[in-house]
Every structure is written in C-alpha cells, then in structure tokens.
C-alpha cells in the first residue's frame, strides 16, 4: 500500500511542478524531469527557490 501511495503522489507531482515552474519563470520541462527523478521533493524545492532572477527561455 505504501509503495502505491508513493507512486501516485510522485505522478501527481509532475503537473504540479510544471505549473509551479511556469508561475516562477523557470523552465517547466526541466522541472517536470526533476520531479520525475526526485518525486514530490521538486515542488518543495520550487517553493524554497522562489522566482527566477531572469526569465526562462521559451520552450
């Protein structure tokens, strides 16, 4: 049960990380990949990092 809960939360963090990255002027594609690797820690990292100092390039 615990493993499946982790898988569901990890999959749910993919679009969340992309949306948060877009709001913070960071590369959504890069943060979705980061979220695929580290799971739900990516949105937490985006909360800590905040806005980008320079705008992200258009993907």
Write down the domain spans for the chain.
11-49
User: What percent of the chain is predicted at pLDDT more than 90?
Assistant: 80
Question: Which residues contact residue 51 at a Cβ distance below 8 angstroms, ignoring those fewer than 6 apart?
Answer: 24, 25
Per the prediction, the chain carries an average pLDDT of 90
18-45 residue pLDDT tens: 999 999 999 999 999 999 999 999 999 9
Indicate if the pLDDT at residue 12 is higher than 70: yes
CB under 8 Å, gap of 24 or more: what pairs does 48-56 form? Answer: 49/24, 50/24, 51/24, 51/25, 52/24, 52/25, 52/26, 54/25, 55/25, 56/21, 56/25, 56/26, 56/27, 56/28
């Amino acid at each position: 049960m615990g493993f499946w809960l982790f898988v569901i939360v990890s999959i749910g963090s993919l679009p969340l990380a992309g949306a948060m990255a877009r709001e913070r002027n960071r590369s959504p594609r890069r943060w979705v990949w980061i979220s695929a690797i580290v799971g739900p820690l990516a949105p937490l990292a985006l909360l800590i990092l905040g806005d980008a100092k320079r705008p992200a390039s258009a993907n």
